[in-house]
Every structure is written in structure tokens, then in C-alpha cells.
């Protein structure tokens, strides 16, 4: 008994693993913070020696920057320039994600096809393009676009210069589809109708479950939706009254006193932390009482409490003004923005389209009516899409191959048709495998838009670089870069994770 | 001899052989249903259009392929001085010899099925014929290409019929074939002699210059010689030793080629003998003796205490040097730091006499190598190059890719271990690092380092822009490396940990000897994938200011007066070079995976 007693004695402090691991961790943490502190003081010193103070006041200063394209090509302030550049980045990223998904899926399925030509063509595409750096592809696309013939001006005396499609040294022109005046009213009306559509769908599904057989529920629901859309297309002015509703709401929100908002927010932060700790303790509770908590568990709870404390300090001490601006004025402006989209006088088609034209200036160019891709945008877009599609194709192929053959055979044994088995058995399972790496590829497209700088398209990085070359606010600009790209990454991973959770197998 | 009667011929009983032939094949694979036929026509049409458009771009009149032929040296080595070019050939030769020995040391000699070679050759012939059909060239060229393609295909097909089924060729026959192919390229194919001679552009018909022919012949000789030489060597020397030697070479060798051979430091031998060698000897012998003493199992805690003391001393020397109190050679400070790390690890490697001797020996070798390298790097170069760095073009691309992978490996392993550990602060730190780095584009990281590193450096310290970019790229790559290694770590079964604990191993021993080796083996396919990605992404240093392969093609060549505006031509060549390397790497990784049998476990 004495030996057991001895072994239960705590070892001396310098040999106690429980103490040592915390000591080591804290030393490393202090070291990391120390290195950062040291580097930032050195950087601040050398910046101060150059007469630069890191701040964001320059955002409101005049820009004198020319953008290649975007919301405003000659922005008044730096902030406007950056906003316009960021919207260019997002435009390439979103367009690229859509195009690469479609192209990649087609090629991936072609590689799975039993057709020899389709299979070989897809293999050659994939093996060629994914082994060439994306930057080289972008530069190749730019060089090829640059070698195209220049645009010729409209003929003498021509009144109608509209056309469907054109590609030249000046870029690409396509017909443009855009939201017209009635778009938001149309959406609001469709939201109202959707209640009825969901109800109808439930009824139809219940009937099918009751009576058996195939009642073609999907087809009927699609028909009802189409009818609703047609009605909403013409009847959208009905929703014009929402304009005054939103207007009133916005005024009411704007009159909320700021301390009240601060109080609510800090209560929310504390409540969230308390809820987390309570749930956490509940999850550790066993029938025999509270389970033994590890260091890690304590750490998590302390972390939640400290987080709430930091939030309160931020709200009341550090940035009380910002809270008011953001949560009172900001939300008020957001509601007002909605109010402006509705109105009793607005009653037009929700969506409209236009064909591109030629503008008559000293140099021939595409007019503003069509959807025009500048050559820079087109080079970046094609480079990114062609490259990423080769990876997406492999992901799609891998996903379909990952579904065991027995599933197809089981579906056939149940008497499902080929289309039915593909739609209801194979694709849902393949999606589960495809989604995570596909999300990674979307992230890659978004990050690779920063290569725009190589072809001179005004994306966030290019304009950011122009700005810090002008005013030497390098650190501040890099802070903005990080904030922007991390937000994009988090958004995409949030969406992908949500879809993933929905697709996940529900296990017993 | 026997009276066993032969069974009656059963020919009439055998099933009809399935019909075969091109028509049947086409009916089954291309036109089995109307949907299939539609696919055939659709993909044929699309491929036809794209290929003929692309081939048209390649042979268009404004393409001046002399831009590539004349600048081949610029593409691969940028402005490395011609007088010193033997150094470049020596380095390439050393790499080739190392490749040959490595193949043997790790037993990578897959036999090649002849049917596969025949198939690829028929495919090659078909490709040449299709190129002939699709390319908009003059009639005689077109007929010639088609004839050559058909001839290759027919010969290969006949050879395939003549050869017995299932025959394999040894791996060396592929190497010989490759060498013969290169010899044909340099000695027979009439590329034309193009070069800049004293600024004058010279263009003469004929095969390539003798300055290209001779070295390449030597290189191919080295490739075959090293392969067969290593084979003979492997009969005498145990394979483990060969493998160990090759691993050491691949970690240190390229650095020697880069900093000592290519850079050619002008050593001041008097100083080296009086200062550098004594320091190295002191650290090597003194440190070796210390480590030999520390690795004795009875030392126990003492090794850790000595290690911690040395670590403190090392930190002190850095701090004192920073505040300018005591100035000490950087080499000494680094050596104390390394010795501290070796001493800290000593308890993990404690054991019997031979083990301890080996540990001390590894330290001495390490000291010798690092001191030589540091001295070499800090000595001015004899090369006559106006602006650093001394390498450029494809050599720079390869160097950066290789070292980024090598240097990001320890970062990745550490971060992966921290992220999977149970220590919350380590986990949070490494998770933050990994996720932040993976969320931002590489180009912003490279810009940040190329601009900000000079600001972050204290006092008099200086760092070349390329080195700053390299550090940024390594830190970036480390985050991805960590995720790949983490995947391997998570595949380790719990039983392995428990077994290690049951044997009484310490946490460090368990990680170093049980967990990491298995985890790394699992993550090899992903790591190779990352190596290919890193190789491709080195093209981004063209944007931040390095003269790599892409920048040379896109800018240097296209701005030469003789080849103004030939950037598209150069870019086609650049993408071809990238493609050849990336594609062969991915093929090699596939056969490596098969050999390791990772998937089948």
C-alpha cells in the first residue's frame, strides 16, 4: 500500500507534466507576442523615420487613380477606389466560380463517358491545363487577346449598331441582362407567393405518400411556380406600398438611443458566453455527476468568459462611437436602402436585357449598353476558368467514382430508371464527396483573382498597390487586403460547410 | 512413349471469337446509341476547332521561333556568365548523377511493359498525323507530317504484333532510350545555329552549336554511367548506407551547388585557416564530445538542463549582439543555438555506445557542412554579374521550388503537431496561423515580404529582396504543408500511441519514432501534390521582381530588339517547359504511390 501511496504523490514541480506543459505554453505565447511586439516597434520606428504614421485617415483623401473598369473608373476618394476595385475582384471571382463549375462538370462527366472521343478529349484537356501554372495561362490569354484584330468602327451613317456577340483586341461584348425597376417588388411578391407554393407542395407530397405511385410532384410544383412568376412579373407594382413601410421602419430604428443599443449588445455578448458555458457543462454531465474537467475544458470556458469581457470593453470603452455608427446608423441606412427600392410609382419589368452596340468616338469601342468584358478582365477570367475547370473536372469524376457500384445496381433492382437512379441515388451521394474539395477550388479562384495585377486589371491588390506606392501606407493597405480576403474565405467556407452539414449522412 | 490419346479437336465446339476490327470497335465505342453518336460528333467538332485554332497560332507567320532557339540559354540560366558556364554544367551533371544513384538506392527500377510502349508510340504517331491534318501549313509539310505519323504508327503496330504478349523491358532500357532521344535532338535535328555574338544576332542553318552538343553528350553519359555504376556499387555497399547518403545529399547537396559551385565564392584562405577552420573544429569536436557524454542513458535530466542552459546562452548572445554590447561572429551564435537543440534532443536519442557515437558523428558532419556553407555564403562571389541574384530563368524557378518545399517541411510538421496536440495555446496559435495564411492569396504575402521585410529588420541588417520573398513563400507554404501532414497524423490509430506509451517511450520519442514516420508515409501523395503546386506557383515571383522562367519569357525575350513583340511565342515555350516538368512529376508520383502501396493499406 505504501508504494501506491508514494506513486500518487505529486512529483516535484519541475517534473510535473501538468505544470510543465502550461509553463512551456505560456513561455511560447510570451515569445510569440514578444517577437510581434519587437517587429512592430522596429517597423513603427522605421516608418516614423520616413515620416509615416499608420492610420486610415487617407481613405477619405482624393484618389487621382484611374481604374481599368468597375463601378467608378475615376473615383473621387481612396475609399471609393478601393470599393470599386473590390467589386471588380468579386465580379471576376463570382463569374469565374460559375463558369468553372459548369465547364469542369461537363469535362468531368465527359471523362467518365463511355464514348471514346469524349473520354480522350476530356483527358487531354485535364492533363494539359492543370500542369501549366495559372499565371502563365492568364498571360497567354492576355497575349492571345492582344494579338486579335482591333475593333472597327460602325459604318458611315449607320443608325443601328447593335449586334449579338463580338471579340476583338478591345475585349468581349455580349448581350446584357440586368435588374430593372420592378425587381425588388417582384422578389417581394414572389416571397409572398412562396408560402402558397410550399403549402401546395406539401399537399401534393402528402397525397403521393398516401396513394403511392408517381404523382410528378416536382413537375407540378415547377408549373405552379412558373404561373406565380408570370403573375408576379406583371403584378409587381402591387408591392409598391413596401416603400413607405420600410421608410417608417428606418426612421424608427434611427431614433433608438445609442446607450440602449450598447446595453443590448453587451447583454447579448454576456448571454451568449453564459449560454455556451452552461451548454458545455451540460454536455460534460453524466448520470454519475459532472465528469472530470480537463485543462482544455477549463480553458474553453475561460476563453468564452474572456471573449464576452473583451466584447463589453470594446462596446463601452474602446469603440462606443463605432457601435452607434454601425448598429444604429448603419442598419438605419440599410433599411432606407430597401425603402428606396420600392415605391408606388415603380412598376416596370423586373428584368430587362439589351444588346451591345458600338460607340462612335475617336477610337471605336463597345457602347455601354451591352455586357462588355475588358481584355484585362477577359484574360484573367479565361485563365482562371480554364485552369480551375481542370481541377473541378477531376473532383467531379472522383465524386461519381466514389459511389459504390452496388448503389447503381440496387437502384436498378428497385426498378428506378437510369435518370431516376442518377438523380435520386448517385448524385446525392457523389455531392457529399464533391462538396469539400469544390469549396477549396472556389477559395482558390477567389484568391487567384489577385493575379489580375499581371494583366493590369484593377482588382483590389492592384489598386491597393497603386495606393501604397503613392502614400506609403503599406501596413494599412495590407490590413485591408487581409480583412477582405479573410472575409471572402470565411464566407465561402461558411456556405460550403452549411451545405455539407445538410448533405451529411444522418447516422443512427 | 505413352498411349494417352489426344482428345479430339474441339474447334467446332469453341465459341465464335467476338468480332473485332476497327468497324466493330467504332460501332461499340462511338455509335452505340444515338446519344453516343451525338457525343462523338460534338466532341470531335469541338476538339477539331480548338486544336486547329491553337496549331494555327503556333505556326502563324508572326511567330518567330528563333526567339526561343536563340534564347534557350537565357530561358534556363538567365544572365549567368558564359566564361563560367562550366559551373552550370557541373551542377547539372552532379544533379544527374545524384538522380541515377537515388533511383538505384531506393530500388526504383520499375519494369516497363512493351505493350505500353507500343501503345504510346502508336498514340504519338496518331498525334503527329492529326497535327499534320489540322495545322494550316503548306501542302508538302502537311503530307510529310501525315506520312511520318502514319509510318510511326504502322511500325509500332507491326512491332507490337511481332512481340509476344506480356513482355517487359528493364528500366535501364528506358534511360538508354531517353539518352538516344536527346542525342538525336542535339546531333541530328537541324534546329539552326542561332546566337547573340557580341550583341550581333547570328542565324545560320545546321544543327545546334558544339557548345551545346558536347555537354549534353557528357550529361547523358553521366546519367547512364551513374545508373550502372550505382548498380555495381549496390552489390558492395549496403542499401541503407546508400539511401542515407542520398538523403543527406538531397538535403545539403543543392545548397553546395548553389552557393559554392555556381556562386563561386572567393575564399581568403589565410582567414579561413586562421579563423573559420579552428571555430568549426572547436564546435565539431567539443560539441561531439559533449553530446557523446549527454546521450549516456544515466545522464537523464542533466542533458535537458545542459540543453536549456545552452539555449539560454544562445538567446543571450543574440540579445547582446543586438544591443551591440558584445559582437560575436554570427556563425558562433548559430552554432551555439544548434548545439543547444542537439543537446535538448539528446535524451531522446540516448542508447548504447554505437548509437551515441552515431549521434555525435551526425553533429560533427552537421557542423562541417553548415560552417562550410555559411563561410561560402558570406564570401563575395567572383562572378561578373551586374545585379544579383546570380541565377535566373528556369534554374531560379527550380531552386526556389526545391528550397521552399524543403524549408517549409519543418514548419509544416511543427504546426501540424501543434494543431493536433492537446495543449490549447499551441493549438490556437497554430490554427490561427494556418487558417489566416490559407485565407490570403500568395501574391499579397510575397508583396508584403518584399516590401515590409526591410522595414522590420533592425538596424544594420540587410536581406536581399529575393531572400525576403523566399522567406514569405516558405511561411506561406508551411501552412499548406501543415494541413497535409495533419491529414497523415489523423490517420494514425490510437493503438499506436498506446503501444508507444506501454513501451515507456517519452512523448518526444513517441512522436519522432512512432507517430511521424507513419504519418509522413501516409501523406506522401499529398506532399507530392503540394510539390507540384509549389513548382507551378513559383511563377508568381515574376510579378514581385524575380527573373524566373516566366519573367524571362514574358519580358526579357520579348524586349530584345531582334524579337520585339514575341511574347506570345516565348509564353508558348514557357508553358511547354512548365508542362513537361509538372506532368512528369505527376506521373512519377503516381508510380511512387503504387510502389509505396499507400492506397492499398
Task: Scan for cell 524586349, then name that residue.
Answer: B559
Asked if B578's CB is within 8 angstroms of A132's CB, the reply is: yes
- In whole angstroms, what is the distance from residue A235 CA to residue A439 CA? 39
Q: Which residues contact A392 (CB under 8 A, 6 or more apart)?
A: A100, A101, A103, A104, A105, A108, A438, A441
**Based on the domain organization, do A385 and A428 belong to the same domain?**
yes
- In whole angstroms, what is the distance from residue B333 CA to residue B318 CA? 7
pLDDT tens, residue by residue, A229-288: 999 888 888 888 888 888 888 888 888 888 888 888 899 999 999 999 888 888 887 777
pLDDT tens, residue by residue, A352-376: 888 888 876 677 778 777 888 889 9
**Based on the domain organization, do A196 and A146 belong to the same domain?**
no
Q: What is the pLDDT of residue A496?
A: 86
pLDDT along chain B (601 residues), means of 10: 57 66 77 83 92 88 84 85 87 93 85 85 91 84 90 91 82 90 88 73 78 89 92 89 89 86 84 87 92 84 84 84 70 88 85 88 89 82 70 90 93 93 89 93 92 74 81 94 91 89 87 89 87 94 88 87 85 95 89 65 41
- In whole angstroms, what is the distance from residue B428 CA to residue B420 CA? 10
DSSP string, A381-426: HHHHHHHHHHHHHHHHHHHHHHS-HHHHHHHHHTT--HHHHIIIII
Residue A324 reports pLDDT greater than 80: no
**Based on the domain organization, do B394 and B375 belong to the same domain?**
no
Q: What is the pLDDT of residue B600?
A: 43
- In whole angstroms, what is the distance from residue B211 CA to residue A178 CA? 63
Q: What is the pLDDT of residue A3?
A: 45
- In whole angstroms, what is the distance from residue B339 CA to residue B366 CA? 10
Q: What is the pLDDT of residue A140?
A: 94
Task: Scan for cell 540559354, then name that residue.
Answer: B73
- In whole angstroms, what is the distance from residue A228 CA to residue A190 CA? 7
Measured in degrees and rounded to the nearest 5, phi and psi for residue A455 equal -110, 5
Q: B571 at the A interface (CB within 8 A)?
A: yes
**Based on the domain organization, do B298 and B354 belong to the same domain?**
yes
**Based on the domain organization, do A68 and A27 belong to the same domain?**
no
Count CB neighbours of A50 within 10 A.
9
Asked if B443's CB is within 8 angstroms of A453's CB, the reply is: yes
**Is position A468 within any domain?**
yes
Quick one: three-class SS letters along B119-151? HHHHHHHHHHHHHHHHCCCCHHHHHHHHHHHHH
pLDDT tens, residue by residue, A407-460: 989 998 998 887 788 888 888 888 888 988 899 999 999 999 999 999 989 999
Nearest to A32 among B42, B429, B455 (CB): B429
**Is position A359 within any domain?**
no
Q: What is the pLDDT of residue B133?
A: 87
**Is position A312 within any domain?**
yes
Q: How many residues does chain A have?
A: 508
Instruction: Work out the angle at residue A473's Cα, subtended by the Cα atoms of residues A471 and A477, and round it to the nearest 5 degrees.
Output: 120
Instruction: Work out the angle at residue B469's Cα, subtended by the Cα atoms of residues B477 and B80, and round it to the nearest 5 degrees.
Output: 115
The C-alpha cell that represents B169 in the structure block: 523491358
**Is position B321 within any domain?**
yes
- In whole angstroms, what is the distance from residue B230 CA to residue B75 CA? 32
| Residue A289 or B521, more confident | B521
**Based on the domain organization, do A189 and A261 belong to the same domain?**
yes
Q: What is the pLDDT of residue A470?
A: 87
**Is position B584 within any domain?**
yes
Q: What is the pLDDT of residue B197?
A: 67
Cis peptide before B389 (omega within 30 of 0): yes
Q: What is the pLDDT of residue B530?
A: 93
Evaluate whether B88 touches B143 at the Cβ level (below 8 Å): no
Classify the C-alpha dihedral A259-A262-A266-A267 as positive or negative: positive
pLDDT tens, residue by residue, A163-212: 888 888 888 888 888 888 788 888 888 999 999 999 999 999 999 888 87
Residue (of B537, B394, B374, B416) closest to B469 by Cα position: B537
> For chain B, how big is the Rg over CA atoms in Å?
30
- In whole angstroms, what is the distance from residue A48 CA to residue B417 CA? 39
**Based on the domain organization, do B413 and B484 belong to the same domain?**
yes
**Is position B504 within any domain?**
yes
Q: What is the pLDDT of residue A1?
A: 42
**Is position B136 within any domain?**
no
**Based on the domain organization, do B575 and B456 belong to the same domain?**
yes
Select from B36, B425, B472 the residue whose CB has the most chain A CBs within 10 Å, as the one to mutate to test that interface.
B425
**Is position A475 within any domain?**
yes
| Residue B84 or A13, more confident | B84
Q: What is the pLDDT of residue A363?
A: 72
The C-alpha cell that represents B16 in the structure block: 465464335
Which residues in chain A are contacts of B451 at CB distance < 8 A?
468, 474
Share the mean pLDDT of chain A: 86
Question: H helices within B78-209, ranges in order?
Answer: 85-105, 114-134, 139-162, 171-187
**Based on the domain organization, do A89 and A165 belong to the same domain?**
yes
Task: Scan for cell 477559395, then name that residue.
Answer: A443
Question: H helices within A213-330, ranges in order?
Answer: 217-235, 242-254, 258-283, 295-313, 320-323
Instruction: Work out the angle at residue A186's Cα, subtended by the Cα atoms of residues A184 and A188, and round it to the nearest 5 degrees.
Output: 70
**Is position A351 within any domain?**
no
Our separate counts of H helices and E strands in chain A read 18, 9
Q: Which residue of B has its CA nearest to A120?
A: B43
Q: Which residues contact B374 (CB under 8 A, 6 or more apart)?
A: B330, B331, B334
Long-range contacts of B448-452 (CB under 8 A, 24+ apart): B448/A478, B448/B472, B449/B473, B450/B544, B450/B545, B451/A468, B451/A474, B452/A43, B452/A474, B452/A475, B452/A478
Last residue of a domain, one of B329, B362, B380: B380
**Based on the domain organization, do A197 and A300 belong to the same domain?**
yes
**Is position B414 within any domain?**
yes
Q: What is the pLDDT of residue A134?
A: 96
Helix (H, G, I), strand (E, B) or coil at A304: helix
Q: What is the pLDDT of residue A461?
A: 93
**Based on the domain organization, do B466 and B589 belong to the same domain?**
yes
Q: What is the pLDDT of residue A51?
A: 77
**Is position B472 within any domain?**
yes
- In whole angstroms, what is the distance from residue B65 CA to residue B462 CA? 42
pLDDT tens, residue by residue, B516-562: 988 888 888 889 899 999 999 999 999 988 888 999 888 888 888 88
| Residue A153 or A107, more confident | A107
Task: Scan for cell 478591345, then name that residue.
Answer: A170
**Based on the domain organization, do A64 and A168 belong to the same domain?**
yes
Evaluate whether A176 touches A356 at the Cβ level (below 8 Å): yes
**Is position A55 within any domain?**
no
**Is position A348 within any domain?**
no
Q: What is the pLDDT of residue B4?
A: 62
**Based on the domain organization, do B410 and B509 belong to the same domain?**
yes
Q: How many domains does chain A have?
A: 3
Nearest to A450 among B40, B444, B571 (CB): B444
Q: What is the pLDDT of residue B574?
A: 94
Asked if A42's CB is within 8 angstroms of B455's CB, the reply is: yes
To which H or E segment does residue A289 belong?
strand A289-290
**Based on the domain organization, do B359 and B285 belong to the same domain?**
yes
Q: How many domains does chain B have?
A: 2
> Could you tell me the residue range of the domain that residue B291 belongs to?
265-380
Last residue of a domain, one of B357, B380, B403: B380
**Based on the domain organization, do B446 and B541 belong to the same domain?**
yes
Q: Which residue of B has its CA nearest to A47?
A: B455
**Is position B246 within any domain?**
no
pLDDT category at A487 given cuts 50, 70, 90 is very high
Q: Which residues contact B468 (CB under 8 A, 6 or more apart)?
A: B449, B450, B453, B454
Q: Count of A–B CB contacts within 8 Å?
A: 156
Nearest to A453 among B536, B543, B582 (CB): B543
**Based on the domain organization, do B351 and B395 belong to the same domain?**
no
**Based on the domain organization, do B375 and B396 belong to the same domain?**
no
Q: What is the pLDDT of residue A70?
A: 82
Is the pTM for the entire model greater than 0.80? yes
Portion 392-431 of B in contact with A at CB < 8 A: 422-426, 429
Select from A117, A375, A419 the residue whose CB has the most chain B CBs within 10 Å, as the one to mutate to test that interface.
A117
**Based on the domain organization, do A336 and A193 belong to the same domain?**
yes
Long-range contacts of B13-21 (CB under 8 A, 24+ apart): none
**Based on the domain organization, do B370 and B507 belong to the same domain?**
no
**Based on the domain organization, do A279 and A323 belong to the same domain?**
yes
Evaluate whether A157 touches A314 at the Cβ level (below 8 Å): no
Asked if B29's CB is within 8 angstroms of A116's CB, the reply is: yes
Nearest to A478 among B46, B448, B578 (CB): B448
Asked if B537's CB is within 8 angstroms of A133's CB, the reply is: yes
**Is position B138 within any domain?**
no
Evaluate whether A384 touches A448 at the Cβ level (below 8 Å): yes
**Based on the domain organization, do A115 and A215 belong to the same domain?**
no
Q: Which residues contact A276 (CB under 8 A, 6 or more apart)?
A: A301, A304
**Based on the domain organization, do A79 and A30 belong to the same domain?**
no
Q: What is the pLDDT of residue B386?
A: 60
Nearest to B443 among A46, A461, A474 (CB): A461
To which H or E segment does residue A168 belong?
strand A166-168
Measured in degrees and rounded to the nearest 5, phi and psi for residue B169 equal -110, 145
Name the packing angle between helices B353-378 and B330-346 (round to 10°): 160
Fill in the DSSP letter of residue A62: B
> Could you tell me the residue range of the domain that residue A242 belongs to?
185-341
CATH assignment of the domain containing A478: 1.10.3720.10
pLDDT category at A345 given cuts 50, 70, 90 is low
State the average pLDDT over residues A341-356.
77
> For chain A, how big is the Rg over CA atoms in Å?
30
Instruction: Please give, rounded to a whole number of angstroms, the shortest distance from the CA of B318 to a CA of chain A.
Output: 13
State the average pLDDT over residues A76-101.
93
Q: How many residues does chain B have?
A: 601
Quick one: three-class SS letters along A117-138? HHHHHHHHHHHHHCCCCHHHHH
**Based on the domain organization, do B342 and B445 belong to the same domain?**
no
**Based on the domain organization, do A87 and A210 belong to the same domain?**
no
Last residue of a domain, one of B345, B360, B380: B380
Amino acid at each position: 500500500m505504501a508504494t501506491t501511496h508514494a506513486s500518487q504523490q505529486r512529483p516535484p514541480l519541475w517534473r510535473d507534466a501538468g505544470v510543465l506543459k502550461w509553463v512551456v505554453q505560456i513561455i511560447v505565447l510570451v515569445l510569440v507576442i514578444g517577437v510581434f511586439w519587437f517587429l512592430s516597434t522596429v517597423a513603427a520606428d522605421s516608418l516614423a523615420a520616413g515620416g509615416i504614421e499608420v492610420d486610415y485617415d487617407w481613405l477619405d483623401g482624393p484618389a487621382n487613380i484611374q481604374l481599368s473598369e468597375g463601378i467608378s473608373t475615376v473615383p473621387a476618394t481612396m475609399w471609393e477606389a478601393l470599393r470599386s476595385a473590390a467589386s471588380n475582384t468579386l465580379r471576376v471571382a463570382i463569374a469565374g466560380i460559375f463558369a468553372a463549375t459548369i465547364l469542369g462538370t461537363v469535362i468531368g462527366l465527359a471523362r467518365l463517358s463511355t464514348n471514346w472521343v469524349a473520354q480522350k478529349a476530356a483527358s487531354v484537356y485535364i492533363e494539359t491545363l492543370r500542369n501549366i501554372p495559372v499565371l502563365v495561362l492568364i498571360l497567354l490569354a492576355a497575349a492571345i487577346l492582344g494579338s486579335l484584330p482591333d475593333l472597327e468602327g460602325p459604318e458611315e451613317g449607320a443608325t443601328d449598331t447593335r449586334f449579338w456577340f463580338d471579340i476583338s483586341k478591345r475585349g468581349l461584348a455580349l448581350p446584357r441582362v440586368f435588374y430593372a425597376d420592378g425587381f425588388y417588388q417582384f422578389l417581394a411578391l414572389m416571397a409572398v407567393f412562396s408560402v402558397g407554393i410550399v403549402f401546395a407542395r406539401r399537399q401534393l407530397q402528402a397525397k403521393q405518400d398516401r396513394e403511392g405511385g408517381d404523382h410528378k410532384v416536382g413537375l407540378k410544383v415547377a408549373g405552379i411556380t412558373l404561373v406565380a412568376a408570370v403573375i408576379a412579373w406583371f403584378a409587381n407594382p402591387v408591392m409598391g406600398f413596401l416603400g413607405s413601410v420600410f421608410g417608417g421602419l428606418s426612421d424608427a430604428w434611427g431614433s433608438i438611443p445609442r446607450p440602449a443599443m450598447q446595453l443590448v449588445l453587451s447583454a447579448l455578448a454576456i448571454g451568449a458566453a453564459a449560454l455556451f458555458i452552461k451548454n458545455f457543462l451540460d454536455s460534460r454531465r453524466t448520470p454519475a455527476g459532472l465528469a472530470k474537467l480537463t485543462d482544455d475544458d477549463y480553458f474553453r470556458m475561460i476563453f468564452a468568459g474572456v471573449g464576452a469581457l473583451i466584447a463589453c470593453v470594446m462596446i463601452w470603452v474602446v469603440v462606443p462611437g463605432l457601435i452607434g455608427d454601425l448598429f444604429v446608423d448603419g442598419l438605419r441606412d440599410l433599411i432606407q436602402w430597401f425603402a428606396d427600392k420600392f415605391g408606388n410609382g415603380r412598376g416596370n419589368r423586373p428584368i430587362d436585357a439589351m444588346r451591345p452596340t458600338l460607340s462612335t468616338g475617336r477610337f471605336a469601342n463597345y457602347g455601354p449598353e451591352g455586357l462588355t468584358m475588358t481584355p484585362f478582365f477577359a484574360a484573367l477570367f479565361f485563365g482562371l476558368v480554364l485552369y480551375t475547370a481542370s481541377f473541378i473536372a477531376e473532383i467531379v469524376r472522383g465524386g461519381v467514382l466514389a459511389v459504390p457500384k452496388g448503389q447503381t445496381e440496387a437502384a436498378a433492382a428497385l426498378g428506378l430508371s437510369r435518370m431516376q437512379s442518377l438523380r435520386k441515388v448517385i448524385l446525392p451521394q457523389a455531392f457529399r464527396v464533391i462538396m469539400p474539395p469544390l469549396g477549396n477550388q472556389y477559395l482558390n479562384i477567389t484568391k487567384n483573382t489577385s493575379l489580375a495585377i499581371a494583366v493590369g486589371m484593377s482588382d483590389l491588390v492592384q489598386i491597393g498597390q497603386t495606393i501604397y506606392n503613392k502614400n506609403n501606407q503599406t501596413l494599412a493597405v495590407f490590413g485591408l487586403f487581409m480583412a477582405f480576403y479573410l472575409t471572402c474565405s470565411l464566407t465561402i467556407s461558411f456556405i460550403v460547410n452549411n451545405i455539407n452539414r445538410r448533405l451529411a449522412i444522418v447516422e443512427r | 512413349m505413352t498411349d494417352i490419346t489426344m482428345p479430339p479437336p474441339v474447334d467446332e465446339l469453341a465459341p465464335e471469337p467476338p468480332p473485332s476490327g476497327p468497324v466493330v470497335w467504332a460501332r461499340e465505342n462511338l455509335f452505340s446509341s444515338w446519344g453516343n453518336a451525338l457525343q462523338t460528333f460534338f466532341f470531335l467538332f469541338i476538339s477539331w476547332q480548338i486544336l486547329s485554332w491553337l496549331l494555327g497560332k503556333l505556326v502563324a507567320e508572326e511567330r518567330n521561333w528563333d526567339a526561343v532557339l536563340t534564347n534557350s540559354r537565357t530561358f534556363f540560366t538567365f544572365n549567368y556568365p558564359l566564361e563560367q558556364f562550366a559551373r552550370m554544367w557541373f551542377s547539372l551533371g552532379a544533379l544527374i548523377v545524384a538522380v541515377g544513384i537515388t533511383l538505384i538506392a531506393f530500388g526504383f527500377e520499375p519494369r516497363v511493359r512493351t505493350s505500353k510502349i507500343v501503345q504510346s508510340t502508336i498514340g504519338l504517331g496518331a498525334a503527329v498525323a492529326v497535327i499534320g491534318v489540322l495545322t494550316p501549313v503548306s501542302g508538302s509539310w502537311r503530307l510529310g507530317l501525315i506520312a511520318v505519323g502514319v509510318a510511326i504508327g504502322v511500325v509500332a503496330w507491326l512491332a507490337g504484333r511481332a512481340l509476344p504478349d506480356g513482355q517487359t523491358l528493364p528500366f535501364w532500357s528506358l534511360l538508354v532510350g531517353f539518352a538516344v532521344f536527346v542525342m538525336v535532338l542535339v546531333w541530328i535535328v537541324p534546329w539552326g545555329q542561332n546566337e547573340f555574338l557580341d550583341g550581333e544576332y547570328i542565324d545560320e542553318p545546321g544543327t545546334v552549336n558544339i557548345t551545346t552538343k558536347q555537354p549534353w553528350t557528357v550529361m547523358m553519359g553521366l546519367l547512364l554511367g551513374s545508373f550502372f555504376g550505382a548498380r555495381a556499387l549496390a552489390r558492395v555497399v549496403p542499401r541503407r548506407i546508400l539511401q542515407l547518403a542520398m538523403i543527406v545529399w538531397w538535403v545539403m547537396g543543392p545548397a553546395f551547388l548553389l552557393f559554392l559551385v555556381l556562386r563561386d565564392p572567393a575564399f581568403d584562405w589565410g582567414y579561413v585557416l586562421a579563423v573559420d577552420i579552428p571555430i568549426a573544429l572547436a564546435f565539431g569536436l567539443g560539441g561531439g564530445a559533449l553530446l557523446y557524454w549527454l546521450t549516456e542513458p544515466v545522464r537523464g535530466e542533466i542533458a535537458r538542463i545542459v540543453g536549456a542552459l545552452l539555449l539560454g546562452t544562445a538567446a543571450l548572445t543574440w540579445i547582446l549582439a543586438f544591443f551591440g554590447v558584445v559582437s560575436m561572429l554570427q556563425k558562433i551564435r548559430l552554432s551555439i543555438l544548434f548545439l543547444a537543440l542537439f543537446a535538448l534532443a539528446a535524451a531522446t536519442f540516448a542508447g548504447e555506445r554505437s548509437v551515441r557515437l552515431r549521434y555525435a558523428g551526425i553533429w560533427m558532419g552537421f557542423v562541417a557542412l553548415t560552417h562550410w556553407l555559411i563561410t561560402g555564403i558570406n564570401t563575395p562571389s567572383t562572378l561578373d554579374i551586374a545585379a544579383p541574384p546570380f541565377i535566373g530563368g528556369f534554374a531560379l524557378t527550380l531552386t526556389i521550388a526545391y528550397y521552399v518545399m524543403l524549408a517549409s517541411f519543418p514548419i509544416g510538421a511543427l504546426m501540424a503537431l501543434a494543431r493536433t496536440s492537446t495543449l490549447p495555446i499551441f493549438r490556437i496559435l497554430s490554427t490561427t496561423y494556418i487558417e489566416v495564411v490559407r485565407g490570403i492569396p500568395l501574391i499579397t504575402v510575397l508583396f508584403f515580404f518584399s516590401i515590409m521585410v526591410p522595414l522590420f529588420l533592425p538596424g544594420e541588417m540587410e536581406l536581399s529582396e529575393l531572400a525576403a520573398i523566399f522567406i514569405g513563400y516558405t511561411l506561406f507554404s508551411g501552412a499548406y504543408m501543415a494541413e497535409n501532414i495533419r491529414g497523415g497524423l489523423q490517420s494514425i490509430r490510437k493503438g499506436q500511441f498506446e503501444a508507444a506509451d506501454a513501451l515507456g517511450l517519452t512523448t518526444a520519442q513517441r512522436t519522432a519514432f512512432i507517430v511521424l514516420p507513419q504519418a509522413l508515409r501516409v501523406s506522401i501523395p499529398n506532399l507530392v501534390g503540394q510539390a507540384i503546386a509549389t513548382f507551378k506557383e513559383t511563377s508568381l515571383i515574376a510579378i514581385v521582381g524575380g527573373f524566373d522562367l516566366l519573367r524571362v519569357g514574358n519580358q526579357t525575350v520579348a524586349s530584345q530588339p531582334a524579337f520585339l513583340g514575341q511574347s506570345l511565342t516565348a509564353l508558348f515555350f514557357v508553358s511547354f517547359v512548365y508542362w513537361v516538368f509538372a506532368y512528369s512529376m505527376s506521373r512519377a508520383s503516381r508510380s511512387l504511390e503504387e510502389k509505396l502501396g499507400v492506397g492499398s493499406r
